[in-house]
Structure 1
Amino acid sequence: MVKRFVEEDPEVVNRQIGDPEDTQVKPAEGGNIYIYVIGNFRPFQLAWNLGRFKIFDYLFEHASVKNQLLAACWKGDSETAKKLANDHPEIVPNLPGSDMAMIAHAAWDRRTSSVKLMAELGFDVNTQAGEADSAPIDRAGFHGFYDVIEVLLPYQPRLDIKNAFGGTPLGATLYGSIHGWRKDGNYPRCVELLLEAGAPPPKEPAGPPEVRAVLAKFGIT
């Protein structure tokens, strides 16, 4: 079926859910059902996320060079991504916001190797995306993904950048430590990393006891 779709419309491999140029899905106030159920993904991202690796390879073969680079980044294929970036140095600096936002989506999904690879290639680590208009380090902090924060910090992301709710990365981390739903993060470590890196301290402590203990080490009581 995928092959038939590509044969009928070769450009389908390069489309993205939510793309305003996609005439097959009419724009709707607040977004459409595909965004909420699937996300702002491209076909190759969905194929990889769902473990449909043969489909991913097929889509990769038929994608534009730009989307091959993005696909390699999402996969975490450093060798392929770096070769494409070296052969086509104009791609990354000229990526539109919707493409640059892939580093933010990867941070949200804890695709640590992908985040690291994109940062190495020159993706904007301050790119903001999603309804919360949040940067990669903000998204990582919200879920407690200390490993994502660790790979972002060497690229000097803004620690005072604010999301749509007025929160900083540290603020998002503290909020996530209370209201987040992921259980595989480490909020105390995230708070420690951000404060050590010079993040603006909160006006007052917040979070569970283990997070407050870290804040206290920095004089925030």
Structure 2
Amino acid sequence: MTITFITGANKGLGYETARRLTDLGQTVVLGARDPERGRSAAEALGLRFVRIDVTDDTSVTAAVADIEAHEGRIDTLINNAGINAPMKPAEELTGADAAEVLQTNIVGIVRVTGAFLPLLRKSAHPAVINVSSGMGSFALTHDPDRVESKVVSPLYSASKAAVTMLTTQYAKALPDIRVNAADPGYTATDLNGHHGSQTVTEGTDAIVTLATEPPSAGTGRFIDRTGPVNW
């Protein structure tokens, strides 16, 4: 049975991904930073909760030890935890703002992925899925027919471009692990004030595809619910 660990899974895309993968028969471990919200979400889905703050080394190390003691391995790591940038004019953005966004959205993936490699390598077919965004795509943010071109969010977009590049680099550097990125699309979640045009279920289609496809599907890809994403 596939064992999947999802970060930032107490709500939104992470929660819906946990629900769908559980319904498909996977053993899902629900990760979240807030213990109360995490436990509540896990109880609602009948899952085990593991606290993880992707910005904190001690928390990540403890999460690895917890899963090693209980599950023994993971087959799929879904790096879903992420934050939006401060909603302020570009000229008011500060270095501290940038550091906060990058610490969660990109440094967090490096921290978590590195820490979980030993547990992933106990799997016959390990996979890492990074939740990126079309907002980090040069092609989509310059296409006037796409909603991504209408939104200005320098720090969030830059962080997600970094997530996609990190994905392609990890795919080359870790040939024994399948590493891919998912673009949920313009989905109504807390991250955007529920203004997205897609439902949260539609927003998890790409993630679920990557989490359920065969190992032969390939590595180093960036997909949305309809297929490959231009980047």
Q: TM-score of the superposition, structure 1-length normalised?
A: 0.27
Greater share of strand residues, 1 or 2? 2
Q: Compare relative contact order (CA 8 Å, sep 6+) and give the higher one, 1 or 2.
A: 2
The structure having more radius of gyration, on CA atoms, is 1
